[in-house]
Structure 1
Amino acid sequence: MASVRLAIVGLGKIARDQHLGAIEATDGIDLVAVASRHAQLDGVRCFHEIGDLLASGVEIDAVSLCTPPQGRFSQAKAALDAGKHVMLEKPPGATLSEVHALEALARARGLTLFSTWHSRAAAAVEPARALLAKRKIRSVAVEWKEDVRHWHPGQAWIWEPGGLGVFDPGINALSIVTHILPEKFHLTRSDLTFPANRAAPIAASLSFETDGGIPVLAEFDWRQTGPQTWDIRIDTDEGPVVLTHGGSRFFVDGEAQIIEADREYRNLYRDFVALVAAGRSDADFSPLVHVADAFMLGRRIQTAAFED
């Protein structure tokens, strides 16, 4: 199969920090165009928006959407209507109804839709999933705390409806937990802390329960400075299982099993190439379902105003 000719839509921080290098390092895919309202990239055709790109006649096979979730539905739909495969940065959309509509449209068009969860592509995730399938789980505790000013400087969209607030990083933890636990789980309690001047939460305290009654607790906070915390701790009948550093490090019964540098986005683009070649989609929206549930059951707690 010839290399996938790719266009990136949205050339912001995540595209420059992660996507460009991953594409360059991945066999079978070539970046040939960019659509961005605020930036250009040397060496490829550049357009102001996706409509201009699709109307230009530039030959592309696929589009990787790196824009904020609000407004992404129309971009993805335009790409699918034009016969292009689509890769969605997380979260896949602003609502569940729109991502399910995109899944149905991709299926009807015979195109690949890849709803990416970069934290699932971390080194420890699959080994943890395999190990937990063999152990009896007693409890799960998630601690995902980071500094919003460091990771999203000046980005107003994350505080608007559909931007998810602290669930922008928190959904990464949920993407791992939904993948590694043998049982499904559902939300039982949601406390959401909103700054007085923002429409999205800055912290969340969640309680879940698996189908078998196992407690799953999650604490998300966007106010942590200094070292960042991305930990998942599972108590099992044979000892503790711990994923740290966002899933790139893995400890079993206190012993280090995996310590690996970040290769998440390279793995995602490798998988995208394989999906396109096989004519398949990967559209698991379960992490977004849990976020939607958190807002539906959420008890609002107000805190001091947040200024970037």
Structure 2
Amino acid sequence: MTELRIAIVGFGKIARDQHVAAIAATPGATLSAIASRNASLPDLPHFATIEDLLEKGPPIDAVSLCTPPQVRRAQALAALAAGKHVMLEKPPGLSVGELDPLVAMAKDAKRTLFATWHSRFAPAVEPARQWLAARRIKSVHISWKEDVRVWHPGQGWIWEPGGLGVFDPGINALSILTRILPRPVFVTAADLSFPANRDAPIAANLALTDAGSLPIMAEFDFRQTGPQSWDIVAETDQGRMTLSGGGARMAVDGKVLAEEPEAEYRGLYRRFVELAATGESDVDLTPFRLVADAFMLGKRNVVEPFVE
């Protein structure tokens, strides 16, 4: 099996905490270089920009873009033009529409474009999908609340246009929701809370449904202190299914039916290796569209300024 030689572009918290170890644990993948203005790894070639990497770097087959979404389209364009496979951290870009030309470019070049949703690879997501498929779902409630100061320290880009604010973690919940439910869903109403000094929401409440009028409510909040919550609860004709810990644990009426150690990013890289072997792409923009619709339909409320 030929090794997929990967360079990480953008070496912040998520790249250090998740991507490096996941690549090391994935058969058929190897980390060959880092491109970042502010960080590097010992014993690995390092470049300030993706342009320097592509021009002067060692031989690579693929790039994993872990930069803020505001700059990702141009980086993906450069990588595809250089004949590289491309993995996009979530959210995949600054806007939904900018992804279409990249998808077409990857197809023409027979290169992989992989828009990742790491939470779909959480261990209890697939068991939850299978369990719900055989039940009548009555309602769904999402509670996705975390402390931005703990999970996104110093990440000013998240408050800029395109940074998504609370939807940066909230889109993880929507990626799980659109995987485990049997029918497509859409947003019917949204209430967005913007700090007076920021351009992205710090909290959001969404109402969603499907063609069968399934009631779905989602609560996202960046101001949570104390216990953090990443939970999806589905009431069904055969009990209450709770998916907790961001998809790590599934229980029905309190009885745990699925729970395994976190390995989401390993799943992403296994998928990336599979896709790159054939040049296929995997770009599901459904969660991104739901966020875009929330902004379109959202009632804007100005709340107290956010100061880190």
TM-score of the two chains, using structure 2 as the length reference: 0.98
Q: Does 1:137 align with 2:142?
A: no
User: Alpha-carbon deviations, 1:209-266, whole Å to 9, x = none?
Assistant: 1111101110000000122100000011111111000000000232101122211111
Q: Which runs of 5+ in 2 are unaligned?
A: none
Q: How far apart, CA to CA, are the structure 1 residues paired with 2:278 and 2:80?
A: 17
2:113 matches 1:124: no
Distance 1:261 1:57, change over 3 A: closer
User: How many angstroms does 1:132 deviate by?
Assistant: 1.2
Counterparts of 1:51 and 1:273, CA distance in 2? 23
Cα distance, 1:103 vs. partner?
Answer: 1.2
Alignment of 1:1-308 (within 5 A): 1-56=1-56, 58-308=58-308
| Matched position secondary structure for 1:97 | coil
State the shift of 1:131 in Å.
1.3
Letter in 1 for 2:46: C
Q: Distance in 2 between matches of 1:259 and 1:134?
A: 20
Mapped contact 2:127–2:258 kept (Cα < 8 A): no
- In structure 1, give the amino acid aligned to 2:234: I
C-alpha distance in 2 between matches for 1:27 and 1:225: 39
Once residues 102 and 72 of structure 1 are traced to their aligned partners in structure 2, the CA distance between those partners, rounded to angstroms, is 11
TM-fit CA distance, 1:57? 5.0
CA distance in 1, matches of 2:117, 2:253: 27
Q: Deviations over 1:4-50 (max 9, x none)?
A: 00000001111001111111111110111110011121111110100
Asked if structure 1 preserves the Cα contact closer than 8 Å seen for 2:241 and 2:251, the reply is yes
1:120-151 Cα offsets, whole Å, 9 max, x none, are: 00001111111111111111100000000001
Moved over 3 A (4+): none
Deviation per residue, 1:52-106 (Å, 9 max, x gap): 0111152100000000000110000100011000001000001011112211111
Residues in 2 aligned to 1:280 and 1:240: alpha-carbon distance in whole angstroms = 38
Equivalent residues, number: 308
Distance 1:35 1:170 in 2: 28
Offset, 1:277: 1.5
Q: CA deviation at 1:297?
A: 0.6
The secondary structure found in structure 2 opposite 1:126 is helix
Which segment is superposed worse, 94-103 or 150-159?
A: 94-103
Maintained 8 Å contact 2:142/2:173: yes
What SS class does the counterpart of residue 98 from structure 2 fall into? helix
- Distance in 2 between the 1:112 and 1:97 partners? 18
SS in structure 2 at match of 1:142: strand
User: What is the CA distance between 1:278 and its match in structure 2?
Assistant: 3.0
User: 1:155, 1:253 → 2: CA distance?
Assistant: 38
